[in-house]
Structure 1
Amino acid sequence: MKKHNFNAGPSILPQEVIEKAAQAVLDFNGSGLSILSISHRTKDFDEVMDTADKLFRELLDIPENYKILFLGGGASTQFFEVAANFLGKKAGYVNTGVWSKKAIKEAKRYGEVEVLATSEDKNFTYIPKGFAIPADLDYLHITTNNTIYGTEYHEDIDSPVPLIADMSSDILSRPVDVKKYAMIYGGAQKNLAPAGVTFAIVRDDMLEKIVRDLPTMVNYRTHAENNSMFNTPPVFPIYVLAETLKWAKKIGGVEELYRRNVEKADLLYAEIDRNPLFKGTTAKEDRSLMNICFVMNDGYEELAPEFMEFAKSKGMVGIKGHRLVGGFRASCYNALPKESVEALVTCMQEFEKAHTK
């Protein structure tokens, strides 16, 4: 039976990328060595790093005055590194869920944090809009997609202060005007690579604004000046990331990925809205393209365990909602084919026919 991978992360990768990675584990570039055991100082791996940098720039139209860093530690490490590097007196944060709350907690270690807007009043089911951004902030931090609650920014906001964004779960899923951001970062294990590498896209002028003496590995300048190889980088995840970027370019780039993502999301949200057994959990204008959250509709709550088992029997993997919100979550990242969403919709329709008259 075919499996349909809706895991929230680590998540689905393109099949051809997985196959190339599997071959590279056995023999990388005909070297007779595994990608898992080559030196990161070799010419072959230099080419991998160059490819990752060039394709990232091309696909996201990243200007020359930005550095692309490939780091360890996940976005959770960036929560404190951002503040350690850039928070001198006061920073602004928008609280849209668990991950932004964690970023706020870490930032408070380094200076004053002003929460400019929050959607906590409605259990993070919408994206706050129209809030004031004070001009005296060192930076403004947002989380562009919220994996647990299923909300997402659909436009790049305008900010009078440096804008920093955690794009862990929607990078490359839609067009982004990188010039509006001072920094974009994220864990790569949703749309780019297996867990183990973190990307950070940092505008050059920010590297001149580092506000305190820092441990070598925490200072962004260290990695910018050493091509992300001050120490041994996450070699295998970076290799897979480069292959994923090749795949993205081949199929038509970010514009095509966005078209596919909208198509998949529209298909599933339409079924959630139509099917009397289910209902969405977020404001419609802020619905995520990446993480589609839904629950059983009023009066059908007791069917949730049965639907979960039915979905599993049909090959659906990873659709259980996060423990904080319950229900179901279909993560529709870039590599998820439309056929998997169609299979989930069919599954929901079959379940409806079995439980309604």
Structure 2
Amino acid sequence: MRCIKYSLLWGVVLLVGVVCFPLKAQVHSAIERVDSLLSEGSLAEAATLIDALQEELGDKKQDALLLREIKLSFLQGDPYTALARTSALSKKFLKKEEVRSLLAALLYHSYRFEDLSTLQEAPKGKVKSKGNGYFPKRLLEQAERAERLVESAQLLEVVDSFTVSHLEDLRHASGLSSEVGELSFGTGTEDYRYTTALGFETFTHRIGDDGKNHIFYVKKTASGEILEERELEELHLPGGEYFPILRQDGQSILFASPTGAIDLDLTAQENGDFSEGIGGLDLYMSRRDPHTGKFQVPTLLGMPFNSPSDDLILLYDDFYHVGLLVTTRFARKGFYNCYRFVMSETAPPLPTNDYELKKKYAALRPWRLREQRAQSIAE
């Protein structure tokens, strides 16, 4: 009999104690608890329990605990550190399908797309690496698309960034002028509403007849009389549409559509209707035909606006000549990173042809332009 000492936050009650069971059963139970905490997003509690287990067990269960540490780093918004830690896993452990799927997701979120493109075809619509483990074919297709977007990535001069835990906080923290219009977020995914600055046009997303989220449009007069009300069917994408924003030119609409989240177990890649993006929610743009009033076929935006993570909202403030990108890239689970950038009507080319440097610009990591330029000069 041995004892493992640890403290956890169970609900709203803090329990600190010494639990004594046969070691094998106790360790199994504790590791399951770590998995549960990671799934819930209770990362601080998960880290505390992992540390306690490592202190108690030493070299025992080293791979299992390291795997949880890797997942923790990823959920804390650092796929690069998580990927680096996989080198310490044993070769035998790396052959497990769960671990191979984890490695594929980490490579993707670390912008190592070219490493996934070498995977070979395997039966049942999946691809197989040189080792063991299978990955959804969709992941390889997205990796090839992402590689092309890295090559054509544009320069984005980010001047500031901040993090929010709720999208509703954007109403007060965006730093944009009222000319952008008004964003409204409720408690559910169907409660989003965007209204133009003059209040004549409103865009919402809600469930359509096909069971997917779509964009609905209402146009009113100054007195509130409804002139037009319809679902924007011309913007339909396989995954649905979310978070519509009309630019101040009155013609360009920006919105997000799901490609399929590239989670640690890749389960979201297996089934479902997804748009042809590069991962998570991807940003699209369409322009309104001035003659018909209908929007044209949406176009997938390039990098750095899109990433392997969720890219939800893109705002342009023509009054202040700045924009705001809201994304979950490199964000702790449950949070959103918001990048404020200088607007440019043209797409400035990157000051390098080096593919590795292009990936840094495309990822906005580091996001400060002067840091990116300093690295470009140094390398």
With normalisation by structure 2, the TM-score equals 0.26
Compare CA radii of gyration and give the structure with the larger one.
2
Structure 1 or 2: more helix by fraction: 1
Structure 1 or 2: more strand by fraction: 2
With a CA cutoff of 8 Å and minimum separation of 6, indicate the structure with the bigger relative contact order.
Answer: 1
